[in-house]
Structure 1
Amino acid sequence: MSDQRPFRFGVVAESVRTAEELTAVATRAEELGYSTLTLRDHFVAEPFGDQLAPMVALTAAACATRTLRLGTLVLANDHRHPVLLAKEAATLDHLSGGRFELGVGAGWLREEYERAGIPFEAAGTRVDRLEESLRILRSLLAGEKTTLAGDHYRVRDLTVFPSPVQTPPPLLVGAGSPRMLRIAGRHADIAGILPRALPGGTISGEMSERTPETIARKVALVRESGRDIELSMLVSPTFGPDPRGCAARVAVLRGWGASSTDLVMDMPSQFIGPPEHIAEQMAARRERYGFTYLLVPDRDMERFAPVIGLLA
């Protein structure tokens, strides 16, 4: 693929709990050459720990940085009406000088819905609602006067203020199931490839969701639209001089067993070994799958930084 996009790298600031930590992680990520600081969207502590409200916290991060882009990874659509979200996204893009990337998903964590008193409807209903929301968001953030009469939202002759600097800001859709992947292909600028969400309200931990064959199928579903979409993934780097030994530890820690070591070494989301080896893996997997926007948890931000230098 000679026309591949260049790499860019992001940090998921999932361990940030205070203003001081947020500012420190944001400024350090900018210094280290990361493209983007992202925040999750949860209001229960499980499974990622307590999280700051993403849109407010990203505004503070924008004020503490100059070039770092800011993103949500990803907002649960059912937590916000798309008109209000479009106004917040436009305002954040305006205040940051055009550095915001809006990541949205259908919502998946049943316990969160139930504890907040939000109905956790069938996946098909949540995905239907997301697709309508994406149409509204894309139209409003592109500066269009928007009308939509759907099954879930009704908007008439509406525009958004202020105008975003980017028209529209890039839209990321987190997707793991076939229907969601096709929706990302139709509506998103960036597809965040995930393991599939399960009907019970969790994310699949199955090894089969992370194999090369499964990831290749997911990429193909996104590509069905024929649109030029950036492919993104949250990755797990494991550093050490012996890639195979590292892979064996990962296999055991994830509950897959040491016999799965070879499978772990081939997983597109697992990058294992010294920085030079990880950089080679990333280049090879960009060629095979097309992933160019890779994100790491903030706990790995410092250790992963040499890889950015190798791939710049």
Structure 2
Amino acid sequence: MSNNNLIASADPIKFAYWVPNVSGGLVISKIEQRTRWDFEYNRKLAQIAEQSGFDYALTQTRFTAGYGADYQHESVAFSHALLAATERLHVIAAILPGPWHPAVLAKQIATIDHLTAGRIAVNIVSGWFRAEFTAIGEPWLEHDERYRRSEEFIRALRGIWTEDNFTFKGDFYRFHDYSLKPKPLQRPAPEIFQGGSSRAARDMASRVSDWYFTNGNTLAGIKAQIDDIRGKARANGHSVRIGVNAFIIARDSEDEAQAVLAEIIEKADPEAVKAFGHEVTQAGKASPEGEGNWAKSTFDDLIQYNDGFKTNLIGTPEQIAERIVALKSVGVDLVLSGFLHFQEEVEYFGRLVLPLVRALEARSPAPVSTL
């Protein structure tokens, strides 16, 4: 390990799942997905996830149809409903700066925080889907400008939650002597997540975010990102935890798991996958380095929105548990998981995979700082 990295957290690795509050499931494929986007399905799923040992659920935000997501429930209201149906699960509401103003969101989240005993968090999404901005009359900013706006959004949000008489003078948001009461129960504030793989995204995480979500990747690719982000965060006097996206296919045999992956790819919707690839490639090319989250994604990778196949949590419970602990060893704090058939596969994961992860963690040597 380099001197820029901390080897593995002493804390148990955490688990989150993508909430299917939009239609179409988590793969752009015509394979059967016994997953529904309605509230009753999601209410039961949240309860199963909580009982199965998951720590977080992440709701998705979409304002318009595209790539199989023809129907979408709004993320903040849906998050609140899932929190009301559970007791321990934390729910992360995805937020788009532009449609939301930080003052409105700060008040929404503070109220939900009081109503749910401090279990709400937010994921600030800078935006990759130009059509959903233009469809609702929101300006589509250049790549790095979107991240500048997101950083101001986070600074404003945290300031409102932690300060009285908050004053902020930015290029996108301005506050003068503003006090929010009551403030959230969580101290110092509800957790703030963000995603992205571009230079602007990583630099923003190293300055202001509590958590950074990265797309699925190889172990070496994930480690390189973590070393980069955490090295910069320390230089900024900041710390950030890391979550990685993974599409999990856990089956009793490796052959069975690989057969499911092959069927997903075989039944992919080529037009929808290519359209999604074009959209995200254009968004990434707008960054100064000409790359974004999906810069090195193949057609097969793009079938799962966030490169979840690349993380390779596909196989038997034993294989997947070993790979999760390997992710932890390079600095991953959380696995953000997607599944084909959410209810039954979340239960299977909690019953057969998660206990193996905890057993392997207990046998691993104590983490060592190389600082």
| TM bucket, shorter chain | 0.7 to 0.9
Q: CA deviation at 1:155?
A: 0.7
The aligned residue for residue 37 of structure 1 is 57
Q: CA deviation at 1:137?
A: 0.8
Distance in structure 2 (CA, Å) of the matches to 1:13 and 1:2: 27
Q: How does 1:1-312 map to 2 (within 5 A)?
A: 1=7, 3-14=9-20, 16-47=36-67, 49=69, 50-72=71-93, 74-167=94-187, 168-194=189-215, 210-223=217-230, 224-226=232-234, 227-240=238-251, 241-242=253-254, 246=258, 249=262, 256=298, 269-288=311-330, 290-297=331-338, 299=342, 300-305=345-350, 306-312=352-358
The aligned residue for residue 31 of structure 2 is none
**Offset from partner CA, 1:251-288 (integer Å, 9 cap, x none):** 95589599xxxxxxxx7622121011100111012102
Task: Give the 3-state SS of the residue equivalent to 2:193 in structure 1.
Answer: strand
Distance in structure 1 (CA, Å) of the matches to 2:170 and 2:140: 20
Distance in structure 1 (CA, Å) of the matches to 2:64 and 2:299: 30
Q: Does the aligned pair in 1 maintain the 2:110–2:183 contact within 8 Å?
A: yes
TM-score normalised over the length of structure 2: 0.71
Q: Does the aligned pair in 2 maintain the 1:147–1:158 contact within 8 Å?
A: yes
Structure 2 unaligned regions, length at least 5: 1-6, 24-35, 271-297, 301-308, 359-371
Q: CA deviation at 1:302?
A: 3.0
- Total equivalences in the alignment: 289
Q: Does the aligned pair in 2 maintain the 1:191–1:222 contact within 8 Å?
A: no
**Offset from partner CA, 1:68-103 (integer Å, 9 cap, x none):** 11112x322222011111111111111110111111
Alignment identity in percent?
25
Aligned partner of 2:92: which letter? G
Distance in structure 1 (CA, Å) of the matches to 2:193 and 2:11: 16
Q: Highest relative contact order (Cα 8 Å, sep 6+), 1 or 2? A: 2
Aligned partner of 2:247: which letter? S
Distance in structure 2 (CA, Å) of the matches to 1:162 and 1:174: 29
Distance in structure 2 (CA, Å) of the matches to 1:3 and 1:132: 29
Distance in structure 2 (CA, Å) of the matches to 1:48 and 1:176: 24
Distance in structure 1 (CA, Å) of the matches to 2:264 and 2:346: 22
Task: Give the 3-state SS of the residue equivalent to 1:291 in structure 2.
Answer: coil
Larger strand percent? 1
CA RMSD of aligned residues (A): 2.7
Q: Does the aligned pair in 2 maintain the 1:37–1:69 contact within 8 Å?
A: yes
Structure 1 unaligned regions, length at least 5: 196-209, 259-266
Q: Does the aligned pair in 2 maintain the 1:139–1:145 contact within 8 Å?
A: no
Q: CA deviation at 1:117?
A: 2.1
Distance in structure 2 (CA, Å) of the matches to 1:122 and 1:243: 45
**Offset from partner CA, 1:221-243 (integer Å, 9 cap, x none):** 32111133221122111234227
Distance in structure 1 (CA, Å) of the matches to 2:299 and 2:95: 33
Q: Does the aligned pair in 1 maintain the 2:9–2:328 contact within 8 Å?
A: no
Distance in structure 2 (CA, Å) of the matches to 1:136 and 1:164: 15
Distance in structure 1 (CA, Å) of the matches to 2:264 and 2:239: 34
Q: CA deviation at 1:147?
A: 0.8
Q: Does the aligned pair in 2 maintain the 1:39–1:54 contact within 8 Å?
A: yes
